[in-house]
């Protein structure tokens, strides 16, 4: 579904990656790890077409990204649910409207029952009318996850989804992502939290990739 | 629905409300529409004036006879004969001493005795619709009455009509400048709103919003604000124009009130303002989206 072939990317003349290749297939579960500044977020942004590589080729749902129009990119993004590290919302809209926003921009009518069920699934039924700045870190992460899955995407990409929340909440979030994977969604999570990776590997068949020295490697047996 | 509130789906709800900018945009649109009403009133009144001067003065002419007292009557009769035989002359009227006294009274005062002044005899000509040949008439008058001079008013009519036409053009140029200034103001306000909401636009793009959806949200917001302001400004401007003295005062400033179908042009100000806002916001949004993937 998402295929990166010999990707290079650099900032201000310096090269962050060199000739990285990766494939996110249907139903797969990947962790992306590496030290801070290694380029985990950049690699995810390349996957959801927020950045364009300086070299190599990215194919999303069978189409080369370089040949896509802006409308094509928007259509492809509707098939990818993203949980951003900083959980960006429209702060003037209540949580329920933020969660339903992907449907709204796709001119699809939100079904109230489905929204209710989704809010219950992420444990935010009581916070539906709260504004995003009123949410705690964990609530923001769960709201972001609900927004990411409302379009029933084929791929879910999460960037440090447990970065600002306690372990109990991290486990709950991980459980939701595993549940989605069992429903056939491909999951790609960038994290530096090794405990989270270990907890996931105990429950699901996950592949762990590590960015090191501008290259992407399969993680060792310690994980 | 959750929490007892309905989910509102209008696209422009994704743009955060901005009270101060909204009020500023509406106020500026109202002020511009108010000024546009006056520019239009000036232009339309100048147009009417040019048309009236042109048509009224074009249909009249004067023959001035300056001759020794003994020949005045004979030359006047000769002039009347020539004029009555001239195609395109509908009516000829020899001004009486009382008529001439009335004409001179504003300058020379009442109780004036014309006998003590060498006042020429005036003959008024009313043209028919097809008009007369001024050059031919001058030649015939020269032959029949050497003291007669034809004045068809063209010497001073043309500059007046040209001045009124220029005034009308100035009014139109002012209206166009006001429309351009409205566009510039809306562009600045839209640029500012788009820059302030760059993060909102990024979020919308990342969740799959097409450019057309984002543009529509901003365009809708600014077009409605401008339309509301322009409606108010036009209403206030038209009320102010209606409060001016009506026609009949005889001067230019008393003829600013719209007449007949001219009301239609004033009604165009709000939709034209909204169209300008639509185009300005659309261009600003397209520019802003260029830097966001």
CA-to-CA distance for B44 and B220, rounded, in angstroms? 32
Cβ within 8 Å, pair B208-A106: yes
Sequence-ordered alpha helix ranges (H) in chain A: 40-47, 70-77, 95-105, 112-121, 137-149, 167-182, 194-201
Could you give the angle at which helices B198-206 and B211-243 cross, rounded to 10 degrees? 140
Cross-chain CB nearest to B13 (options A50, A93, A116) = A93
How sure is the predictor about A107, in pLDDT bands with cuts at 50, 70 and 90? confident
pLDDT at A223: 55
pLDDT at A222: 55
DSSP B152: -
- The larger pLDDT score, comparing residue B157 to residue A205, is at A205
pLDDT at B160: 78
pLDDT at B7: 43
Q: What percent of chain A has pLDDT over 90?
A: 49
Give which of B291, B226, B234, B286 is closest to B263, Cα–Cα.
B234
Query: Residue A147 maps to which CATH number?
Result: 3.40.50.300
Alpha-carbon dihedral B162, B164, B168, B170, rounded to 10 degrees:
80
At residue A40, does pLDDT exceed 60?
A: yes
Which residues of chain B make contact with A91, given a CB cutoff of 8 A?
Answer: 16
Which residues of chain A make contact with B286, given a CB cutoff of 8 A?
Answer: none
CB contact, 8 Å: B17 with chain A? yes
Q: Are strands A155-159 and A80-83 parallel, antiparallel or unpaired?
A: parallel
**Contact at 8 Å (CB) between A142 and A122?**
yes
Q: How many CB atoms lie within 10 A of CB B236?
A: 15
Average confidence (pLDDT) over A113-140: 90
Give which of A158, A157, A140 is closest to A95, Cα–Cα.
A140
Cα angle: A57, vertex A73, A85; to 5 degrees: 85
CA-to-CA distance for A54 and A16, rounded, in angstroms? 10
CB contact, 8 Å: B52 with chain A? no
Cβ within 8 Å, pair B206-A77: yes
pLDDT, tens digit, for every residue of A172-204? 888 888 988 998 999 999 998 888 898 888 888
Any domain includes A223: no
> What is the arrangement of strands in the sheet containing A155-159, beginning at the earlier edge strand?
A80-83, A155-159, A186-190, A29-33, A207-212, A215-218
Q: Write down the number of H helices and E strands in chain B.
A: 9, 4
CB contact, 8 Å: B13 with chain A? yes
Which residues of chain A make contact with B8, given a CB cutoff of 8 A?
Answer: 97
**Contact at 8 Å (CB) between B231 and B26?**
no
pLDDT at B204: 93
- DSSP state letters, B204-245: HHHTT--HHHHHHHHHHHHHHHHHHHHHHHHHHHHHHHHHS-
Any domain includes A136: yes
Cβ within 8 Å, pair A52-B8: no
Q: Which residue has the tokens 């102010």?
A: B240
Any domain includes A42: yes
Any domain includes A191: yes
Joined together, the tokens standing for residue A59 give 């194919």
Cross-chain CB nearest to A128 (options B3, B8, B209) = B3
Cross-chain CB nearest to A128 (options B2, B200, B293) = B2
CB contact, 8 Å: A153 with chain B? no
pLDDT at B247: 63
pLDDT at A58: 94
How sure is the predictor about A37, in pLDDT bands with cuts at 50, 70 and 90? confident
Name, in order, each residue with C-beta under 8 angstroms of B273's C-beta and a sequence gap of 6 or more: B29, B32, B33, B36, B179, B182, B226, B227, B229, B230
Please, which residues bridge with residue A212 across strands?
Answer: A215
Q: How many CB atoms lie within 10 A of CB A12?
A: 4
Residues, chain B = 293
Q: How far is CA B257 from the centre of its chain?
A: 11
Where would I find the beta strands (DSSP E) of B136-292?
148-151
> What is the arrangement of strands in the sheet containing A14-24, beginning at the earlier edge strand?
A14-24, A2-11, A55-60, A63-64
Cβ within 8 Å, pair B16-A151: no
DSSP A36: T
pLDDT at B31: 93
Q: State which residues form the domain around A75.
A: 2-218
Cross-chain CB nearest to B9 (options A71, A104, A112) = A104
pLDDT at B2: 42
Cβ within 8 Å, pair B206-A88: yes
Any domain includes A199: yes
Q: Which helix (H) or strand (E) element contains residue A186?
A: strand A186-190
> What are the backbone dihedrals phi and psi of residue A209, each rounded to the nearest 5 degrees, phi first?
-115, 145
Joined together, the tokens standing for residue B23 give 């009020």
Cβ within 8 Å, pair A115-B7: yes
Indicate the domain borders of chain B. 16-54+158-289, 67-146
Average confidence (pLDDT) over A150-173: 85
Q: How far is CA A143 from the centre of its chain?
A: 13
Number of independent structural domains in chain A: 1
DSSP B293: -
pLDDT at A217: 83
* Mean pLDDT per 10-residue section of chain B, whose length is 293 residues: 43 78 86 91 84 74 87 90 90 87 75 73 86 87 89 75 83 87 85 86 92 91 91 94 70 68 88 92 90 83
**Contact at 8 Å (CB) between B178 and B32?**
yes
Joined together, the tokens standing for residue B165 give 């036409």
Cross-chain CB nearest to A74 (options B7, B13, B209) = B209
Which residues of chain A make contact with B5, given a CB cutoff of 8 A?
Answer: 94, 129
Interface of A with B in 41-100 (CB under 8 A): 48-52, 70-71, 73-75, 77-78, 82, 84, 88-94, 96-97, 100
pLDDT at B3: 39
Cβ within 8 Å, pair A105-B3: no
CB contact, 8 Å: B215 with chain A? no
HSE-up of residue B238 (Cα within 13 Å, Cβ side):
17
CA-to-CA distance for A157 and A34, rounded, in angstroms? 16
């Amino acid at each position: 579904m998402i295929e990166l072939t010999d990707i290079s990317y650099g900032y201000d003349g310096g090269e962050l990656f060199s000739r990285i290749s990766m494939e996110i297939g249907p139903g797969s579960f990947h962790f992306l790890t590496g030290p801070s500044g290694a380029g985990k977020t950049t690699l995810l942004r390349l996957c959801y077409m927020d950045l364009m590589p300086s070299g190599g080729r990215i194919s999303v749902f069978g189409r080369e990204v370089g040949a896509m129009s802006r409308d094509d990119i928007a259509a492809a993004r509707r098939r990818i649910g993203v949980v951003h590290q900083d959980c960006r919302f429209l702060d003037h809209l209540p949580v329920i409207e933020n969660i339903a926003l992907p449907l709204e921009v796709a001119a699809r009518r939100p079904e109230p029952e489905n929204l209710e069920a989704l809010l219950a699934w992420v444990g935010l039924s009581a916070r539906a009318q709260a504004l995003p700045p009123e949410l705690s870190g964990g609530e923001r992460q769960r709201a972001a996850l609900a927004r990411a899955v409302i379009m029933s995407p084929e791929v879910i990409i999460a960037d440090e989804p447990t970065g600002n929340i306690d372990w109990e909440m991290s486990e709950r979030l991980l459980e939701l992502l595993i549940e989605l994977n069992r429903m056939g969604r491909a999951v790609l999570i960038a994290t530096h939290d090794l405990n989270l990776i270990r907890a996931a590997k105990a429950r699901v068949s996950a592949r762990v990739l590590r960015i090191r020295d501008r290259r992407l490697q399969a993680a060792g047996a310690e994980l | 629905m959750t929490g007892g509130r309905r989910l509102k789906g209008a696209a422009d709800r994704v743009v955060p409300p901005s009270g101060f900018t909204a009020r500023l945009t509406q106020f500026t649109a109202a002020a511009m529409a108010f000024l546009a009403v006056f520019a239009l009133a000036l232009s339309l009144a100048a147009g009417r004036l040019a048309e009236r001067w042109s048509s009224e003065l074009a249909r009249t002419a004067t023959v001035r006879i300056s001759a020794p007292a003994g020949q005045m009557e004979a030359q006047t009769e000769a002039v009347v004969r020539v004029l009555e035989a001239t195609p395109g002359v509908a009516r000829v009227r020899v001004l009486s001493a009382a008529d001439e006294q009335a004409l001179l009274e504003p300058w020379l005062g009442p109780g004036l005795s014309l006998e003590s002044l060498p006042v020429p005899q005036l003959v008024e000509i009313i043209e028919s619709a097809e008009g007369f040949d001024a050059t031919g008439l001058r030649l015939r008058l020269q032959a029949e009455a050497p003291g007669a001079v034809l004045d068809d008013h063209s010497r001073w009519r043309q500059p007046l009509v040209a001045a009124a036409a220029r005034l009308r053009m100035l009014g139109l140029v002012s209206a166009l400048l006001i429309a351009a200034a409205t566009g510039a103001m809306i562009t600045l306000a839209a640029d500012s709103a788009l820059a302030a909401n760059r993060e909102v636009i990024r979020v919308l793009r990342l969740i799959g919003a097409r450019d057309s959806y984002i543009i529509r949200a901003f365009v809708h917001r600014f077009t409605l604000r401008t339309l509301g302001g322009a409606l108010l400004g036009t209403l206030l401007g038209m009320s102010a124009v209606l409060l001016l003295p009506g026609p009949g005062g005889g001067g230019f400033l008393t003829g600013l009130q719209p007449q007949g179908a001219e009301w239609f042009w004033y009604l165009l100000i709000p939709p034209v303002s909204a169209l300008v806002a639509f185009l300005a916001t659309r261009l600003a949004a397209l520019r802003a989206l260029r830097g966001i993937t």
